[in-house]
C-alpha cells in the first residue's frame, strides 16, 4: 500500500515538473535524432541507423585530443557544446560551454540556432561525461547532418577536464 502511494505521488510530481523525467529508460538507440529535412518549422526524426548511414565519411565529426580541446577552450576560438543532461551542465561545466543535451537536442538547437548558423564552418567542440559516454558523438553527428562542417568530439570529456583540475563554471 505504501509503495503504491509513493509511486502515485512520484508520478504526480513528475507531471507538475517543467522538464518531466522519462518513465522508461531509453538507450542511445532509443532516442531520435534531428535531420535537416525540416529545420524551418520542426524536426524530422530518424533512427541512429539511418542517421549514421547518411553521413559521408568527410562529413562525420572528428575526434580531438584532450590537450587540443583544452587549448581551444583557453583561446576561446570555437564554440564548446556540453552534450550531458541539463542538470549536470547546471552543476558544473567547461567555461564558456553551451548546453545541448542529447535528449533535448531539438529544443536546445532551436535556441542556439542563430548563434550556430552565423558560420557553419566555425569549429564546434562537443563533450559529454567521459570515454564511456556516447552523448557527444550523437550530438556531433546530428550537427554534422545539419550541415556544420567542423565538428569535433572530445572523448575524455568532463571526466578528463575534472581530473586535470581545470576551472569550471556553474549555471543558476
At 166, the pLDDT band (50, 70, 90 cuts) reads very high
pLDDT at position 56 over 50: yes
**CATH architecture, domain 2-163:** 3-Layer(aba) Sandwich (3.40)
Distance of CA 127 to the CA centre of its chain: 8
Tens of pLDDT, residue by residue over 104-151, are 899 999 999 999 999 888 899 999 999 888 999 999 999 999 989 899
Residues 6+ apart with CB under 8 A from 21: 14
For residue 110, which of 63, 85, 67, 146 has the smallest C-alpha distance? 146
Tens of pLDDT, residue by residue over 15-45, are 787 666 666 544 554 444 444 443 433 444 3
Domain boundaries of the chain, sorted by first residue: 2-163
For residue 52, which of 138, 149, 154 has the smallest C-alpha distance? 138
At 172, the pLDDT band (50, 70, 90 cuts) reads low
Cβ–Cβ < 8 Å for 79, 123: yes
pLDDT at position 102 over 80: yes
Q: What is the pLDDT at residue 60? A: 83
Amino acid at each position: 500500500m505504501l509503495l503504491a502511494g509513493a509511486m502515485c505521488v512520484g508520478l504526480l510530481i513528475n507531471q507538475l515538473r517543467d522538464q518531466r523525467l522519462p518513465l522508461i529508460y531509453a538507450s542511445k538507440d532509443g532516442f531520435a535524432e534531428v535531420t535537416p529535412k525540416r529545420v524551418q518549422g520542426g524536426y524530422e526524426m530518424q533512427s541512429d541507423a539511418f542517421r549514421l548511414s547518411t553521413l559521408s565519411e568527410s562529413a562525420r565529426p572528428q575526434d580531438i585530443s584532450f590537450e587540443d580541446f583544452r587549448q581551444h577552450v583557453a583561446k576561446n576560438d570555437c564554440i564548446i557544446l556540453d552534450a550531458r543532461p541539463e542538470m549536470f551542465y547546471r552543476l558544473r561545466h567547461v567555461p564558456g560551454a553551451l548546453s545541448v543535451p542529447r535528449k533535448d537536442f531539438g529544443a536546445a538547437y532551436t535556441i542556439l540556432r542563430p548563434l550556430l548558423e552565423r558560420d557553419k564552418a566555425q569549429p564546434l567542440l562537443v563533450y559529454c561525461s567521459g570515454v564511456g559516454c556516447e552523448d557527444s558523438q550523437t550530438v556531433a553527428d546530428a550537427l554534422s547532418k545539419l550541415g556544420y562542417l567542423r565538428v569535433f568530439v572530445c572523448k575524455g570529456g568532463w571526466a578528463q577536464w575534472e581530473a586535470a583540475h581545470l576551472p569550471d563554471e556553474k549555471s543558476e
